Amino acid sequence: MNDKKIPRVDLPPDVRLDTLAVREGLPNSPWGENSEALFLTSSFVHPDAATAAARFANEEEAFVYTRFTNPTVMMMERRLAAMEGTEACIATSSGMAAILLLVMGLLKAGDHVVCSQSVFGSTIKLLAGEFGKFGVETSFVSQTDVSEWRKAMKPNTKLLFAETPSNPLTEICDIRALADIAHNASALLAVDNCFCSPALQQPAKLGADLIIHSGTKYLDGQGRVIAGALCASEALVNDKFVPVMRSAGMSLSPFNAWVVLKGLETLSIRMQAQSARALQLAQWLEAHPAVERVYHPWLASHPQHELALRQQSAGGAVVSFVVRSQQAAGAALARRNAFAVVDATRICSITANLGDTKTTITHPASTSHGRLTEEQRLAAGITQGMLRVAVGLEDLEDLKADLARGLDPLA
Ligand SMILES: *Cc1c(COP(=O)(O)O)cnc(C)c1O
């Protein structure tokens, strides 16, 4: 079975991340193209009936139908897996589709999940709402208190789900500690690595079994496509996820895969440059008289700064901060001041998206976290005076001036 395999790029065995990001994929076609080809085709032809039969029976690895096999998509999968340090990867139509595939592939009615309460809002809705309907129960626990995860474990816990750093507070969870809790209970740990990408953090090296990506964010990096991926061992991908993909079809289009594939080539330099700008902007904000508090993992004032230094190689491009307002002034004025800072910008894009070369600014309490009650928001630490900036690649001095336009009058 499977003795005929799709060939691999001939790379030396010890090449490093930046080389894999540019070179891993598939061998080029007989035409010798240097830039990877975009295979926009729904199906693939076979030389004869017997070969077609062998391919459909999985006796020969080959491209069959783009719902589950396509060369451009496979190039992206192999490249991302290599960068994450996992054996395999399966691309999906969106980041949320990767989480859908994760749960459909691994869990059944009666199973239990432990998940951070600080994960992406749609992840909470998918787990608690949609999968709750199908009898998969989820307990939501603290992002940072490992003992809460331990206490939430049940005999039927099959999956732990974390996302680090979190949005918008950049809270860090301890991947190694969560992997130990999972493995002691014969459960698996999944980590949503959207904010750092493999350029800054490789959860598999810290014990995570499954890595989730929204390719929409830093992997594409220029805000062009919706894409997702799930990285894991070959056994999990082939046995648990490919069969679900084959029948459920949350497939990534080859065009979107190609955009992400080419985005991966510049991921590392983008992440380093955007993180460096974000840190400098965070330090400048910390010194600004109209700013009460700043959140960025590379600031010494960050509550999990030491942990961040251990498991990330840079702080990431997201900075959140609270606009100062008089103690007794209340939430309405705090919101008005935050809105004034947003509305004074002339460069930043006012959008809740992130992971773009264009810097974005958003007021989480009225956008990404607008559907929560004020009580839930305060429990999550998201106040009316808080703004989130996802730093892109514009000149840092121009970004400071853009924020100063709204902040200086409040000082
Ligand atoms: C955006 C995002 C997702 C969802 O990804 P889509 O590609 O928008 O479906 C999941 N997790 C995190 C952390 C995200 O930021």
In one-letter notation, the amino acid at residue 124 is I
Tell me, rounded to whole angstroms, the distance of Cα 259 from its chain centroid. 16
Which atom of ligand 1 is the closest one to the Cα of 163? 13
Q: How far apart are the first and last CA of the chain?
A: 70
Cβ-proximal residues to 153 (8 Å cutoff; 6+ apart), any chain: 114, 181, 185, 187
Residue nearest to atom 1 of ligand 1 (CA): 214
Question: What average pLDDT does range 97-123 have in this prediction?
Answer: 96
Q: Where in the chain is the domain with CATH 3.40.640.10?
A: 17-264
Question: What average pLDDT does range 273-295 have in this prediction?
Answer: 97
Res. 373 pLDDT band, cuts 50 70 90 = confident
What is the whole-number distance in angstroms between the Cα of residue 96 and the centre of ligand 1? Answer: 6
Residue nearest to atom 6 of ligand 1 (CA): 95
Question: What average pLDDT does range 190-207 have in this prediction?
Answer: 98
Question: What average pLDDT does range 124-138 have in this prediction?
Answer: 96
Q: Are 320 and 388 in contact (CB under 8 A)?
A: yes
pLDDT of res. 325: 79
Determine the topology of domain 268-410 in CATH. Answer: Aspartate Aminotransferase, domain 1 (3.90.1150)
What lines the ligand 1 site, CB under 6 Å? 94-96, 120, 163, 192, 194, 214, 216-217, 226, 228
pLDDT of res. 377: 84
- Block residue for tokens 């698996």: 188
Separation CA 31–CA 388 (nearest Å)? 47
- pLDDT of 2 over the 60 cut: no
Take residue 392 and report the two structure tokens written for it: 């892109």
Res. 372 pLDDT band, cuts 50 70 90 = confident
Provide, rounded to the nearest whole percent, the portion of the chain with pLDDT above 70. Answer: 98
- Block residue for tokens 């251990």: 310
- pLDDT of 329 over the 70 cut: no
Which atom of ligand 1 is the closest one to the Cα of 228? 7
Which atom of ligand 1 is the closest one to the Cα of 217? 1
- pLDDT of 1 over the 50 cut: no
Of 375, 296, 386, the closest CA to residue 337 belongs to: 386
Determine the topology of domain 17-264 in CATH. Answer: Aspartate Aminotransferase; domain 2 (3.40.640)
What is the whole-number distance in angstroms between the Cα of residue 56 and the centre of ligand 1? Answer: 33
Residue nearest to atom 4 of ligand 1 (CA): 95
pLDDT of res. 374: 81
Question: What average pLDDT does range 336-345 have in this prediction?
Answer: 97
Res. 17 pLDDT band, cuts 50 70 90 = very high
Q: Where in the chain is the domain with CATH 3.90.1150.10?
A: 268-410
pLDDT of res. 330: 83
Which atom of ligand 1 is the closest one to the Cα of 99? 10
pLDDT of res. 169: 96
- pLDDT of 378 over the 90 cut: no
Mutation choice for ligand 1 from 216, 320, 354, CB with most ligand atoms inside 8 A: 216
Mutation choice for ligand 1 from 94, 96, 259, CB with most ligand atoms inside 8 A: 96
The tens digit of pLDDT for each residue in 174-185 reads 999 999 999 999
Res. 3 pLDDT band, cuts 50 70 90 = low
The tens digit of pLDDT for each residue in 25-84 reads 999 999 999 999 999 999 999 999 999 999 998 899 999 999 999 999 999 999 999 999
pLDDT of res. 381: 86
Separation CA 238–CA 94 (nearest Å)? 20
pLDDT of res. 375: 82
Separation CA 131–CA 125 (nearest Å)? 9
Q: Are 203 and 83 in contact (CB under 8 A)?
A: no
